[in-house]
Chains A and B, each alone.
Chain A
């Protein structure tokens, strides 16, 4: 087991290294750097000025050296102003060390956001907290609903209830967040006026049923169908197995068979699926936060990407990739731990 975990972690670190390098490469493509330089120098700067600015601030250094600096395994050099020969920060809204230091992601320095004109580390925690809260409530809604739906449908395969629940899951997997968000807002906010169609107040005044329900159900609906279908398949498989038949034949009630014998084995597969929902939820969060104007991680990512905020995009990319990889790791280890056939085999 320990060897298995160690191997998974090694693969994860390698994946992370590759992915962060890819993100770093794409974020630092020439057109993006040029836009940054245009934005940071005055508008009528010539091509020569732009190049000078980029060279002076270290954007023209070797790709791997810059990547190493960002990670924090190479020293960041201070920028020297040619006029005064004094060290100046790259962006006037963030201070930087005047001497060469190791200051990258590993040291907790995520760089400087040009869109919000502050250090990335000043914005990131609250955004993550806001999104974490949203995700938490989504999970609270999504997991019980989808598991109950899946178990009920898979319990008696081919029954009327099974067919109705299947149709509901199919409809819900056909509804991406930007569709369900619109439909729910129209029904509950515009026509019935029972819920708030904007979660903007959730940041300032705290979350309430009134302002938080719509984003939560919007995000939950897409996952519910998928997890329910997986649970149904797993449950149906278990219900047709030999030991369930034995339990039934020795006279246990259907209820007891389902609750005590079937459920435990049927819920192993959905666990993996729930964990693997995280990458999709991350994308969904971005959509839901845009529709309901909620200022979380998704809002940060969209503003960073649309404002060419290099350091912030890098950080957001790193955070989302880390979340995805960690959930994959948990799902692998958890699956191996829960499933006796793998654990003991």
Chain B
């Protein structure tokens, strides 16, 4: 069997990734051209750490978007002669190569890694977003009111934090649990938060403009209700919004595990910010507590929150990988990175590439997010 040299493999990989390079180049050139007008982001990309972080994150974003163009093979396609093949093994029938080798089921490691980025980049940021909303909507009143509200909410958050993540996953993400109502009840609870958040936000913000307020509330209810119906009950009449039960289960478990962390941060920030003058001013104007929380405190907590969100997306990615690594929730042939690492680690001594490639992918993505967070933190300290 013909095997390509290292040089051909590298050029081959670079060539396969052309849509990513193109999109990356265009985005970064435009960013540099207009960086004076781009505010925080413009400042960020002029620093070394921030630029590296942005570049790595954009790289994975574009790879995920253009996965179907980049991947030379289907993630499930098997070419039997290339089973456990070395990097650069050429399929004699089609003439194209497994650039990073084949796995134990003779699938292309590179293509699976590329398609895996889609799963990771779809679930991790979305789950972080949900946990951000849940954490904020519970952390704000806990920090603002203090007292009994704080005691009860903090106690619940500490309950979740005292669970070792892995035990939580073994209890929450099992095939058996899909037969019970537990994941759906939890999904129903968690997906309620985005709708609630927007409703409270619009109601408190535009109370004095009844028409605009009513329109916004109705739009939120209509769109939110439609998506909610599709996600939680899987009863979308048009079949646009749809999640497999196991995907829903993973999503909820990950969001559940990272919500208490957000809660703690938002609570701490709120306790700090509520002593500022502009909060007292808003209170003196007679604004409602929820107006103060959502329109005065939350926007002023955005700096640390953005930094934390970047770190948290990385943490969520790690959690997702943990789920895949223990074979929880994901379907066995799923190309996500955690599952690929688990599959490959069984034959690690013999075949290095199948687990190493997704492992490096996961690490580089999390690293990019951490660098981004670090750059953002430095920027916010400078201002």
Which positions in A face B, CB cutoff 8 Å?
11, 15, 18-19, 22-23, 26-27, 29-32, 35, 166, 170-171, 173-176, 178-179, 181-183, 185-186, 189-191, 197, 279-280, 282-283, 286-287, 290-291, 301-302, 305, 313, 316-317, 320-321, 324-325, 328
Contacts and interface: CB of A to CB of B under 8 A. Distances in A.
Contact of B164 (A26, A183, A197, A324): A324
Contacts of B371: 170
Contacts of B167: 23, 283, 301, 316-317, 320-321
Given A174-B366, A178-B341, A328-B162, A302 B326 contact: yes
A290 B356 CA distance: 17
Given A31-B180, A305-B170, A179 B341 contact: yes
A165 to B, nearest CB: 13
Contacts of A29: 176-177, 180, 182
Given A15-B158, A313-B170, A32 B176 contact: yes
B159 interface: yes
A189 B349 contact: yes
Interface stretch (B8-16, B101-109, B317-325): B317-325
Interface in B335-369: 338, 341-342, 344-345, 348-349, 352, 355-356, 359-360, 362-363, 366-367, 369
B207 to A, nearest CB: 39
Given A179-B363, A182-B348, A301-B170, A31 B179 contact: yes
The 7 closest A-B pairs by CB, nearest first: A31-B176, A174-B367, A174-B366, A305-B170, A26-B171, A283-B166, A282-B164
Interface string B306-328: 00000000100010011001100
B374 interface: yes
Contacts of B360: 179, 183
B370 interface: yes
Interface in B110-149: none
Contact of A279 (B164, B177, B341, B363): B164
Contacts of A301: 166-167, 170
Given A31-B179, A189-B349, A197-B348, A183 B356 contact: yes
Contacts of A197: 348-349
A103 B374 CA distance: 53
Nearest to A308: B176
Nearest to B156: A18
A15 B162 contact: yes
B164 A175 contact: no
B341 A320 contact: no
Contacts of A18: 159
Interface string B171-204: 1101011011010000000000000000000000
A280 B179 CA distance: 30
A184 to B, nearest CB: 11
Contacts of A173: 370
B76 to A, nearest CB: 23
B179 A30 contact: yes
A170 B370 contact: yes
Nearest to B341: A178
A80 B158 CA distance: 42
Contacts of A279: 161-165
A32 B167 CA distance: 16
B191 to A, nearest CB: 21
Contacts of B163: 19, 279, 321, 324
B155 interface: yes
A339 to B, nearest CB: 18
Given A29-B176, A301-B170, A182 B159 contact: no
Given A31-B180, A176-B366, A302-B326, 20 more contacts: A15-B159, A29-B176, A29-B177, A30-B179, A31-B179, A166-B374, A170-B374, A173-B370, A174-B314, A178-B341, A178-B342, A178-B359, A182-B359, A280-B165, A283-B164, A286-B164, A286-B166, A316-B167, A321-B162, A321-B163
29 contacts: A23-B171, A26-B182, A29-B176, A29-B182, A32-B176, A170-B374, A174-B366, A174-B369, A176-B322, A178-B321, A178-B345, A179-B341, A182-B355, A185-B348, A186-B356, A190-B349, A279-B161, A280-B164, A282-B166, A290-B325, A291-B345, A302-B326, A305-B174, A313-B170, A320-B164, A321-B162, A321-B167, A324-B162, A325-B162
Contacts of B356: 182-183, 186
Nearest to A11: B155
Q: Which of B166, B174, B370, B371 has the most CB of A within 10 A?
A: B166
Interface of B: 155, 158-159, 161-167, 170-172, 174, 176-177, 179-180, 182, 314, 318, 321-322, 325-326, 338, 341-342, 344-345, 348-349, 352, 355-356, 359-360, 362-363, 366-367, 369-371, 374
A178 B171 contact: no
A294 to B, nearest CB: 14
A282 to B, nearest CB: 4
Given A29-B176, A171-B367, A182-B348, A287 B322 contact: yes
Contacts of A32: 174, 176
Contacts of B359: 178-179, 182-183
A324 B342 CA distance: 27
A315 B165 CA distance: 16
Contacts of B180: 29-31
A173 B318 CA distance: 10
B92 to A, nearest CB: 28
A162 to B, nearest CB: 12
Contacts of A324: 162-164
A311 to B, nearest CB: 15
A178 B325 contact: yes
A241 to B, nearest CB: 17
A170 B367 contact: yes
A35 B180 CA distance: 14
A323 B221 CA distance: 45
Nearest to A302: B326
Nearest to A304: B170
Contacts of A30: 179-180
Contacts of A26: 171-172, 177, 182
B381 to A, nearest CB: 11
A38 B158 CA distance: 37
A27 B159 CA distance: 17
A186 B321 contact: no
Contact of A19 (B162, B362, B370, B374): B162
Contacts of B374: 166, 170
A325 B163 CA distance: 9
